[in-house]
Amino acid sequence: VFTVCWLFVSADPRTFAAVIMGNPLFRWFGRRSYSFYIWQYAIMICGQELMKYSKMDYSLKVLLQVPFVFLLTEISYQLTEAHLAFFWRRFTRPAPKRHKRHSRRRYFLIRVPIFVLILTMVTCFTLAMLQPANTADRAALEDRIQGDLPAMRIESRVGIVADHDELMAMIAQSEGLTELQQGDQYDKTTEEIFATAVQAFPELKLTEDEKYWLETQPITCVGDSIVESAAVELRFRMPNIDIDSEVSRQFYDGIDILRYRKEAGTLHPQIVYALGTNAVLSMDMIDELATEFNTHDIFFVTTIQPLADVEKNINGLLLEGAEKYGNVYLIDWYDFAKTHSELFYEDGTHPNFNGAAVYAQLIAKHVAERGVVRDNIHVPEETESAGEETVD
């Protein structure tokens, strides 16, 4: 409505609105509006890819992209709209025969090759950023992540399946493995992978009291594809965990699942609520969850994804919920792992083998810390001495 009214009052060039719209700054933006439209999306996508493992604030990420948008907009405007308009005027206006042919030849020999070269370079750079190196391998990798075949994940570690070498080559080519993932990492057992994770992150090592608590206490876990891809590791670290996960599950879907389990008598006192990756979340949902299940300890797990604005909004709401309710606790997966690209697949969201172990270890550590304090757990001496031989 405001736009229509503004256009109506600025139609007459004598009005104040027309004077404002006709100032040099607005004219400058107006002439380049299409170039701005083209470049802002390309720069946004490239920025998300380049900074997907950065904790930098979303507003700062946007500010860093602005100079590149202006620069590429001006270059494309000068090379296309300005020069093409100039060429069209030179081409259509009457000119002496001895100058006309020279003018056309000069334009084609100088300006057109430069324009084609720069446009080709920019196009190649954009396509390289947007497209994975191997589309077939990338598609196969995504299918394996989303499908979450636990049997294949276990067998691939111990070298049972026939296509084990091919699978390892595909993963290595698609991920670009770092030093932590090199060698025989995918030949290791789950226990060995957890030992590597604890060695890399000593702060996640469990105490004997925490290990004892995890081995004796049941836990309910509701999650999406992140939990689905780390289900094996979660069950290894927390033997009594009851996982209910599904790809693309929304935050509000988990509330109905908890209601059903509560009515069926299968809802445990500890709830790991790892939902929010799929972007739909409001404070009303958190209020409903926290108040309806106020006799349970609820552990929110923050999300990691390339969309920085969505990531910031979701994690901010989860933090607000944890601060608002005494029965809600925050497991900050974002703060812990965001800058560790070696823990993720190429999408920057789903944890790989190492990442799944770290993810499970982090959740287990936080849940067990709360459980030990609440239940005043102290490991019997015989249990403590036996536990020293197990992996942390």
What is the mean pLDDT for each group of 10 consecutive residues in the chain (392 residues)? 72 73 81 83 81 79 87 81 60 52 55 66 64 47 48 34 43 40 53 88 93 94 92 93 92 94 94 90 94 96 88 94 95 93 88 92 96 81 51 62
State the Cα–Cα distance between residues 225 and 233, nearest whole angstrom: 14
Domain harbouring 197, CATH code: 3.40.50.1110
* Under 8 Å between Cβ of 280 and 228: no
61 lies in some domain: yes
Judge if pTM exceeds 0.75. Answer: no
What are the beta bridge partners of residue 178? none
* Under 8 Å between Cβ of 328 and 300: yes
Taking the CA atoms of residue 35, residue 37, residue 41 and residue 44 in that order, the dihedral angle to the nearest 10 degrees is 80
Looking at residue 181, what is its pLDDT?
A: 42
Domain identity same for 200 and 278: yes
Domain identity same for 371 and 284: yes
27 lies in some domain: no
Give the full edge-to-edge strand order of the sheet including 219-223.
Answer: 241-245, 219-223, 270-274, 297-301, 328-331
Domain identity same for 105 and 222: no
Chain centre distance of CA 248: 14
Chain centre distance of CA 291: 29
**Going by DSSP bridges, is the β-strand pair 297-301/270-274 parallel, antiparallel, or unpaired?**
parallel
Looking at residue 132, what is its pLDDT?
A: 46
112 lies in some domain: yes
- Who contacts 11 (Cβ-Cβ below 8 Å, separation ≥6)? 18
Domain identity same for 199 and 91: no
* Under 8 Å between Cβ of 285 and 250: no
Q: Please give the structure tokens belonging to residue 337.
A: 């792992």
What are the beta bridge partners of residue 245? 223
- Who contacts 391 (Cβ-Cβ below 8 Å, separation ≥6)? 191, 194, 195, 198
Is the Cα torsion angle 22, 23, 27, 33 positive or negative in sign?
A: negative
- Who contacts 325 (Cβ-Cβ below 8 Å, separation ≥6)? 290, 291, 294, 298
What are the beta bridge partners of residue 344? 351
* Under 8 Å between Cβ of 337 and 200: no
20 lies in some domain: no
Backbone φ, ψ for residue 344 (5° rounding): -125, 155
Domain residue limits at 322: 188-387
179 lies in some domain: no
Domain identity same for 123 and 215: no
Chain centre distance of CA 307: 6
110 lies in some domain: yes
Q: Which of 96, 112, 130 is the last residue of a domain?
A: 130
Domain identity same for 79 and 200: no
Domain identity same for 225 and 117: no
The C-alpha angle 54, 314, 46, rounded to 5 degrees, equals 40
218 lies in some domain: yes
Q: Please give the structure tokens belonging to residue 186.
A: 């995918």
- Who contacts 201 (Cβ-Cβ below 8 Å, separation ≥6)? 358, 361
Domain identity same for 278 and 201: yes
Domain identity same for 100 and 198: no
276 sits in the region (left: phi over 0; alpha: psi -120 to 50; else beta) called left
Closest CA to 127 of 65, 47, 46, 72: 46
Domain identity same for 125 and 208: no
Neighbours of 164 (CB within 10 A): 17
Domain identity same for 243 and 351: yes
149 lies in some domain: no
The structural domain count of the chain equals: 2
Q: Which of 109, 130, 151 is the last residue of a domain?
A: 130
* Under 8 Å between Cβ of 17 and 6: yes
Domain identity same for 71 and 205: no
| b/e 45-71 (16+ beta carbons within 10 angstroms → b) | ebbbeebbbeeeeeeebeeebeeebee
Looking at residue 3, what is its pLDDT?
A: 72
